Structures are given as C-alpha cells and as structure tokens.
Homo-oligomer: A and B are copies of this chain.
C-alpha cells in the first residue's frame, strides 16, 4: 500500500499586499507538485473560523476538536516528553520577570535554555497530596503538570497575557475541584517565587526569572490512537513542543531531529531527510514547519517569503520517496494582520490523484483548483482514499 507525507506549513495562508508571500516567493518545486497534482482551498476547522494551532492540527489529523480538544497544556506537556496520567492537569508556563506585583517582562529577557534548566531544578514539588512536575523546554518556555486526586482544569490563567499586574488563579465554576486546584496553583506560584528569588543564578540578571506564569490549563484524558482509528503507523517530525504534543496525544511516534528548532532557522533539510527515512518504517509522516507562522506574527513579509523558499528547496527530498504528498497549512497568519485569521489555506495533493488546471501553489491559484473547498476533517479520509486504505461503506 502507498505511504503518505502530510506537510503542514504553519500559518501558510496570507492576504495580497498586492501579492501574498507565497505568490511572491520562488517556489518552483511546490509549483511543479501543484501542476502535476490537484489543488484546492482548506478550511482547517470550519469556514471563516479562526483556528488555534492546536484545534486546527487535531481537526486536520482527524480528531474533531469539539470532542477531543483538552486545552493547550497537555499538548505542551506531552511535547516536552512528560508522560501524562488520566486526570493530570497541565499548563504552559513562562519564566517571567516581576517587580513588586507588576510583570515587567513576560519572557524574563528571553532567558537562555541553560539558565532556565538550572532554575527548574527546584520547581518540582509536592503540595499536600498533589505532585507538581515542572519542566523547562526552550528559552523562557516550560510546562507544569499537577498530578493527584480531584483536580480540575476549569481555572483561570495566572499569565496576564501582557505586562501588568500578576493574576491570581481563580476557579471558573463552583466545583470543589476547581477551587482546590486554583488554591494549589496559587500555592505553587508562591513557593516557586520564593525559590526563584533566592536562586543564585538570578542574582546578576538584569531581568531575573523570578516568577512562573501559567496558562492553557487542560485535563489529560487518553483518546483512541491514530493507528486504531485510521490504521496508519504515523510519525511526527516537528520542532515545536505543541505539535509534537498533539502527535503524542494521538500516540504517534515522535522523531528527534537535531536542528529542528521550530523557528526561522530550523533545519528543514534535516526534517525532510528524516521524513524520507521514516517511510521505511512508517505509513504516514506528519511533518510540521513553524517558521512562516512566526514571520506572519512578526509582520515580516520577507522572512515569510524566504522561509517558503527554504521549504521549497527540500520538496524534492520528499518527492523522491514516491509517497503521496499533501501540503497545506493549519491556518492563515497574514503579515498584514500579525495574527491567525479565518481565511482558507491552499492545499495540494500530489501522487496518483486526478490533476487540475492549476499551475502554481498559492492562495489565488488554488481557489480554482480541482479539489474545491474542503475542510480539515476531510484530509485524513483523502489520504486513506489515495493510499488505498479507505474501507467501503455498504456493499
């Protein structure tokens, strides 16, 4: 049976100013695949809805987020390699700088990973019968997991999402579990502040990492695996913890690719080579490239264009595998908007499919493509169909 590669270019879609980055970029390889394949437009979740990266990836990978979305925290935790138990409550965390009661830098001066690792050593502790497990990832980023009985993730963020007052955690419903969990979070925050304040590592920093900000609380619950649902042995090749975490949540394997850094410098070639090699052992590769989304958030047209050109260069590596290739994005992040929008993203399907008249891979050309306008939830059925894995319904 044929194998498939799904390449998600994060934040791919854009708006014309007067061209989109994808129109402006020199992408001869993507264009060749578009010309020899079939194209269309994808609504990652539903038409005009603005997707988060997490809900979008779930939907594109065949997991309806209205059923399977559990908040960002568990994906981040799984993405940094923490194994979660049923009922664990996980948070995305930031090292930040607080002065009095004001957050003055949400990233503690973009603290380096090594320093953050040293500071992290005192941040896993017990609070009553609850275990608090902290792990830092890249720079100011980290994850907190609370493990114990009667926890709830229906609680507020302590991260104010901007500079300003520190937020306390409060329950978002009247349950005993939410109140208890909010208390534990506040206790953890206090103890963490104490540890960080006394840490010698922080002494000489202009912006000491003296507080942890928490957001995206979610309760982990195991879901049916990607293999059980679709019969595909899948592997994820990504730099960002969130994407690796989504794959781990679906119990795909997650490749370790040195140089996959989930930013504009990520080693895309190394990822493509790992993708190609993985097909010896797997049916399905989910490959994720983050850079275009970051460039979109920064409003940097040239950076987005160049990232697309870097991605284009490694396409032949994927092409040589003979696998079916599906290339799309998880949402639009137009440089003129600097945020996710609900615009469709182009999609191309290459290898054994019908062709259409589209010759370029961009937002305008693909809108008249032969696939028409499809939804995220249709991507895995599409892949099952073209790899001859789809089961017949009826007789």
Does A54 contact B394, Cβ atoms closer than 8 Å? yes
Residue-wise, chain A 351-395 has the 8 Å CB interface mask toward B (1 for contact) of 011111100000110011011111100100110110010111111
Does B394 contact A55, Cβ atoms closer than 8 Å? yes
Please give me the residue from chain B that is nearest to A92 by CB atom: B395
Distance of A294 from chain B, by nearest CB (Å): 15
| Separation of A363 and B55 alpha carbons in the complex (Å) | 33
Please give me the residue from chain B that is nearest to A385 by CB atom: B342
List, in ascending order, chain B residues with CB within 8 A of A391's CB: 50
Residue-wise, chain A 318-347 has the 8 Å CB interface mask toward B (1 for contact) of 000000000000000000010111110000
Does A395 contact B47, Cβ atoms closer than 8 Å? no
Does B354 contact A367, Cβ atoms closer than 8 Å? yes
Does A341 contact B393, Cβ atoms closer than 8 Å? no
For A395, give its contact among B49, B72, B384 (CB under 8 Å): B72
State the copy count for this chain: 2
Please give me the residue from chain B that is nearest to A65 by CB atom: B394
For A381, give its contact among B47, B52, B384 (CB under 8 Å): B47
List, in ascending order, chain B residues with CB within 8 A of A16's CB: 354-355
Question: Is A21 in contact with chain B by the CB < 8 A criterion?
Answer: no
Q: Is the interface of A mostly helix, strand, loop or mixed?
A: loop
Question: Is A51 in contact with chain B by the CB < 8 A criterion?
Answer: yes
Residue from A69, A216, A378 with most neighbouring chain B CB atoms (10 Å): A378
Say whether, besides A357-B368, A364-B370, A367-B354, A384 and B48 are in contact (CB < 8 Å). yes
| Separation of A356 and B366 alpha carbons in the complex (Å) | 10
List, in ascending order, chain B residues with CB within 8 A of A394's CB: 51-56, 65, 69, 72
Does A363 contact B354, Cβ atoms closer than 8 Å? yes
Question: Is A41 in contact with chain B by the CB < 8 A criterion?
Answer: yes
Question: Is A15 in contact with chain B by the CB < 8 A criterion?
Answer: yes
Does B381 contact A48, Cβ atoms closer than 8 Å? yes
Q: How many of chain A's residues have a CB under 8 angstroms from any CB in B?
A: 53
Question: Is A84 in contact with chain B by the CB < 8 A criterion?
Answer: no
List, in ascending order, chain B residues with CB within 8 A of A368's CB: 356-357, 368, 370
Does B352 contact A356, Cβ atoms closer than 8 Å? no
Question: Is A45 in contact with chain B by the CB < 8 A criterion?
Answer: yes
List, in ascending order, chain B residues with CB within 8 A of A370's CB: 364, 367-368
Say whether, besides A55-B393, A392-B340, A385 and B65 are in contact (CB < 8 Å). no
> Assuming A16-B355, A48-B381, what are 16 further A-B pairs, CB within 8 angstroms?
A16-B354, A49-B381, A49-B390, A50-B393, A51-B392, A51-B393, A51-B394, A52-B393, A52-B394, A55-B394, A343-B385, A357-B368, A364-B370, A367-B372, A368-B370, A373-B373
28 A-B contacts (beta carbon < 8 Å): A15-B352, A15-B353, A41-B372, A47-B374, A47-B375, A48-B382, A50-B385, A50-B391, A50-B392, A51-B393, A53-B394, A65-B393, A65-B394, A72-B395, A337-B388, A339-B392, A341-B388, A342-B381, A342-B385, A342-B390, A354-B364, A355-B364, A356-B368, A357-B368, A364-B370, A367-B370, A367-B371, A368-B370
